[in-house]
Structure 1
Amino acid sequence: MPLINVIPGDKIPTAPMNVRVPVWRVPGWLLVLWWTLRGAFRATVLAVRFWWLTGPAALVAWIWADFGWQTLLVVLATLAAAGIAWWRWHRASWWRFVWWPLLGRWRRLFVYRRGWAPAMATCGLATTFGGDKYVPQLVKVRATAVGDELTVRMLPGQHPDDWGKAAPRLAYTFRVRDGRARTHRRPDRIVLVFLRRDPLATTIAPLPVPTSLDLERLPLGVQENGDPYALRLAGSHVLVGGATNAGKGSVIWALIAALAGGIQQRLVELWVFDPKGGMELAGGLPLFTRFVYDTAETMAGALEDAVVRMRARANRLRGVTRQHTPTPGDSLIVIVIDELAALTSYISDRKVRDRIRESLSLLLSQGRAVGVHVIAALQDPRKEVLPFRDLFPTRIALRLTEAEQVDLILGDGARNRGALADEIPETSPGVAYVALDGVREPVRVRFAYHSDSDIQDLCRRYGYAQVVEGEIVEGER
């Protein structure tokens, strides 16, 4: 019985409402033609997208059909022999151009693509709008020796920080060791880095000393993707933060070793400050131009001498050049401070402490262009301990005791972007996260470890000849 609309307060019924949906009659042959064309289009798209599977399959079918299985067997045997010879005689290019590309496509198809949509939904990276579901698109998977790099097209409204927070959960979802997000050169994409194994699990042996001084790339260790890590010291100061036994000595000695060639060529002067009484760095005395370790008064005077050298050089270079170039008569000055907090906060004499703070502020703010660089290590990164933390463009966070300390050293939001320095195990000294000025994501590295014998060999090969081995002196030599 049709529904009757009744106007309130009136007894007269209105016309019945028509609720029937119009029906369009389509011929069966047209539906079959549409389904055939759509299926052919999808099959073509899949064949082109997965050419690395469909191409060889089509080639095998063609050889078998036209030449027989014997010819196919000969072709496959020839290709196998060529592949084995390639792998045997030039293994690096074989891994790069054959194995890793094939492995990346295989893992994209059978590891990530199968559970991609559920993973995006459970991690809060998929969304629904207007009744339709939207999932970020997996663009490419690049396999390496240590992990996978997934290029993803983000949805509108998403930010790289959203992926940085979700990366550890995605790593557990896809059953890999660790995961973090990295920005892409295109603003609408993000790169997820998943590690299948950790190349930083073992100690890094001392790296070869560069024969020439290159301040743009000082080799100090290994990155988590297995590539060498090189520090850019030109135009920069370096802050190293870490708890006790976190490996601050590894960073300092790796840097000294990278500068050893320049020290031998009289292109670099090391001014070393060891407030711990000289116990940590005295082994490298033949490499140092100045080594100060006993009193705060002596350290304040040495820093004031560095300020005098800096100002004299600035007056000489003003109007000539904007960047100092090291020469044997006008060398680079690298100031190494093992425990910065001992100079800026733990000195009881207020006047001496103020002198040190004033000198450090001047060196950090004016020294880079004239070839005076500060390398400082500390354990306590609080603001009152290090008031001029922002003057260090390059920052290194070793193992820390609290999560809040990560942002104090590397900058606000660094931990949310993957710098989990508070989760570095005590069994991995020398592992750190490095934040570079202008680079959004911290880089996880492990610095090379130098034993006492390695340090002695370094001093014997690159130290000053006029210094008696083992002698400890203060002041300028």
Structure 2
Amino acid sequence: MPLINIIPGDKIPVAPMNLRLPAWRVPGWLLVFWWLLRGLVRVTVLAVRYWWLTVPTGLALWLRLEYGGLLLASVALAVAAVCLAWWRWHPVSWLRFGWYPMVARVRALLIYRVRWASVMATCGLATVFGGDRYVPRLLRVRCDRFGDELTVRMLPGQIPDDWAQAAERLAYAFRLRDGHARSTSRPDRVVVRFLRRDPLATTIDPLPVPDVPDLDGLALGVREDGLPYRLRLAGSHVLVAGATNAGKGSVLWSLIRSLAGGIRSGLVEVWAFDPKGGMELAAGAPLFARFVYDDPDGMAGVLEEAVKRMRLRAARLRGVTRQHVPSVEDPLLVLVVDELAALTAYLTDRKVRDRIKEALGLLLSQGRAVGVHVIAALQDPRKDVLPFRDLFPTRIGLRLTEAEQVHMVLGDGARDRGALCDRIPDSLPGVGYVALDGVREPARVRFSYLTDDDIRQLGRDYQRHDRNDDDQEVTE
């Protein structure tokens, strides 16, 4: 056999492989039959999916062909009369079960489903694998007076935080005002809410005062879906943070107003601390069992007195119950502190500052079970200003000046989940986001606004039952 000399670098000649692909000859009539079958299946699926369009349309055509246009017009007028009578007789049920479901179906068809695949791709929520495109499935659309709620089945590998970060882009893609995403009980689903009209754009008037405050749900304002917002005070402390003129007073006075019925009956006792010389809280002085201002040493003494009462109550309840129940003989103690940073960071007297920090730390860590609650407001949320912010299970972020402050107040990742406190405009004081321990998504709320006259009237109507203004205890 002859040897072939191969020079390094030369290509070895390779004979081309002879491949013949199998050819299938399909009759033309079979292709036509297959296309017709696929079309019939798709039309059937669409007819079943959009039954609310196909059924009335089919019925109208049948009436028109069988009985003429006069009967069709009569039936249409009768249906319109029934809807009008329903709306006049019971508008709430008409809107809930009649109008809004119809609006939701129309908006789902004309706005969301038409552009769904393209929007998912441009917002980074669709993916491609193996040459196939995968798009999250839109399951349901619900509408109400202020916005739309979309229930979506996420793709494998997605989490609700991915949708929360993309919610603002989705809102702009669908030409809507704002968007937020929240998780559901189903791990594969997420709910995205878009606003068509903001219910928080107008000032919220003072809410009615209940005779007995519901500590599991104090009505303080309105949520972004138009429903009342209720804050759970039982077993919690509340931190309120916001820039100047952000509406911290609205939160404090809304909460005090919701407790006013209990203050008058003696079920609730409020101790107020106003380091700004009483400028914010003095108008409601008749509501307070203790009202201290100006003197830091006096404030430290009152806080230490609250610690003593907390410890005595804990010793009395030990082995009897694990949760305090307010009564006239043993009322709920609520400490309201305006501008907390003035007590924990800005005091020049180090000894007094340390006393205040120690007392607050004890009250925050041990007071919830024995009915001692702290409501604190501040402007500067830095760690050195408030070292024990994690002891506040309920945190409210109003308008803030920087995006980093949102994470300081509401916790890591709160801004990515929709708490855009740094984007709240100056024209919306009292609007903020509420974050609760154990709840992933913050709630957007506007708190009611009380004028000075409202506060003074509140003090006259609900002052404590066991004293008059002349025997009010005030420490300057």
**How does the TM-score come out when normalised to structure 2?**
0.95
Displacement after TM superposition at 1:7 (Å): 13
Map 1:116-127 to 2 at 5 A. Answer: 116-127=116-127
Does the alignment pair 1:51 with 2:51? yes
- How many angstroms apart in 2 are the aligned matches of 1:23 and 1:182? 53
Structure 1 residue aligned with 2:366: 366
Supply the distance in 2 between the matched residues of 1:56 and 1:471 (Cα, whole angstroms).
Answer: 74
Q: Distance in 2 between matches of 1:17 and 1:466?
A: 105
**2 CA distance for matches of 1:436 and 1:172?**
28
Tell me how far apart the structure 1 counterparts of residues 11 and 273 of structure 2 sit (CA, whole Å). Answer: 102
* CA distances 1:402-432 after superposition (whole Å, capped 9, x unpaired): 1110000000011111111011111111011
Q: How does 1:211-226 map to 2 (within 5 A)?
A: 211-226=211-226
Gaps of 5+ in 1: 1-5
2:230 corresponds to 1:230: yes
Question: Alignment partner of 1:58: what SS?
Answer: helix
Distance 1:291 1:32, change over 3 A: same
Which residues in structure 2 correspond to 1:232-311 (within 5 Å)?
A: 232-311=232-311
Instruction: Extract unaligned runs of 5+ from structure 2.
Output: none
Q: What is the rounded CA distance, in whole Å, between the counterparts of 2:387 and 2:13 in structure 1?
A: 84
> Which residue of structure 1 aligns with residue 178 of structure 2?
178
Shift of 1:366: 0.8
Supply the distance in 1 between the matched residues of 2:19 and 2:219 (Cα, whole angstroms): 77
Match of 1:345 in 2: 345
Shift of residue 244, structure 1, vs aligned partner: 0.8
State the Cα distance separating 1:470 from its structure 2 match. Answer: 8.6
Alignment check: 8 A CA contact 1:282 1:472 kept: no
1:315-355 deviation line (CA, Å, top 9, x unaligned): 11111111111111111001100011111111111111111
What displacement does 1:469 show? 4.7
Q: Residues 472 and 422 from structure 1, CA distance in 2 versus in 1: closer, same or farther, beyond 3 angstroms? A: farther
1:63 deviates by 2.4
CA distance in 2, matches of 1:228, 1:26: 66
238-247 vs 172-181, greater mean Cα deviation? 172-181
Q: Distance in 1 between matches of 2:335 and 2:453?
A: 24
Report if the CA contact (8 A) 2:264-2:465 is conserved: no
Aligned equivalents of 1:356, 1:389: Cα separation in 2 = 15
Map Cα deviations across residues 262-301 of structure 1 (whole Å, 9 max, x no partner).
1112110001111111111011111111111121111111
The separation in 2 between residues aligned to 1:437 and 1:397, in whole angstroms, is 14
**Residue 101 (str. 1) matches residue 101 (str. 2):** yes
Alpha-carbon offset, residue 26 of structure 1? 2.3
Is 1:453 matched up with 2:456? no
Describe the shift of the 1:453–1:20 C-alpha distance in structure 2 as closer, same or farther (beyond 3 A).
Answer: same
SS at match of 1:435: strand
Give the alignment of 1:303-452 within 5 angstroms.
Answer: 303-452=303-452
Cα pair distance change 1:179/1:470, threshold 3 Å: farther
Q: What residue in structure 2 maps to residue 165 of structure 1?
A: 165
Task: Supply the distance in 1 between the matched residues of 2:181 and 2:20 (Cα, whole angstroms).
Answer: 53
Distance 1:48 1:453, change over 3 A: same
Residue in structure 2 matched with residue 144 of structure 1 by the alignment: 144
2:220 maps to amino acid: L
Q: What is the CA distance between 1:143 and its match in structure 2? A: 1.1
Percent identity among equivalent residues?
67
Q: Does the residue aligned with 2:395 lie in a helix, a strand or coil?
A: strand
Give the residue type in structure 1 aligned to 2:300. Answer: A
Residue 13 of structure 1 deviates from its aligned partner by 8.1
Aligned in 2, Cα 1:475/1:324: closer, same or farther, shift over 3 Å?
farther
- Aligned to 1:302, the other structure's residue is in SS state helix
For the 8 Å contact 1:137–1:152, the answer to whether it is kept is: yes
The aligned residue for residue 210 of structure 2 is 210
Please state whether the residue corresponding to 2:259 is helix, strand or coil: helix
SS of equivalent to 1:115: helix
Deviation at 1:114, TM superposition (A): 1.6
Output the CA distance in 2 between the equivalents of 1:330 and 1:262.
12
Q: Structure 1 residues 146-155 or 368-377, which shifts more?
A: 146-155
Between the aligned partners of 2:5 and 2:366, the Cα distance in structure 1 is 86
Aligned to 2:325, the other structure's residue is in SS state: coil
The answer (yes or no) to whether the contact 1:287–1:459 under 8 Å persists in 2 is yes
Q: Could you give the per-residue CA deviations for residues 119-144 of structure 1, whole angstroms, max 9, x where no partner exists?
A: 11111111111111111111111111
Bigger mean CA offset, 340-349 vs 381-390: 340-349
Deviation at 1:19, TM superposition (A): 3.1
> RMSD value over aligned CA atoms?
2.1
Alpha-carbon separation, structure 2, partners of 1:312 and 1:251: 30
Query: SS at 1:114's partner residue?
Result: helix
For the Cα contact (< 8 Å) 1:7–1:14, is it kept in 2? no
Inter-partner Cα distance in structure 2 for 1:403 and 1:471: 47
The corresponding residue for 1:3 is: none
- Paired with 1:28 and 1:381, the residues of 2 have a C-alpha distance of 75
Cα distance, 1:458 vs structure 2: 1.1
Equivalent AA in structure 2 for residue 458 of structure 1: L
**Letter matched to residue 339 of structure 1:** E
Return the offset for 1:257.
Answer: 0.4
Task: State the distance in 1 between where 2:346 and 2:91 align.
Answer: 56
In structure 2, how many angstroms separate the alpha carbons of the residues matched to 1:139 and 1:447?
34
- Residues 11 and 469 of structure 1: CA distance in aligned 2, closer, same or farther (over 3 Å): closer
State the partner residue of 1:156.
Answer: 156
Paired residue total: 471
Between the aligned partners of 2:76 and 2:155, the Cα distance in structure 1 is 44
Shift of 1:197: 1.2
In 2, Cα distance between equivalents of 1:11 and 1:242: 76
SS at the partner of 1:457?
helix
SS in 2 for 1:320: coil
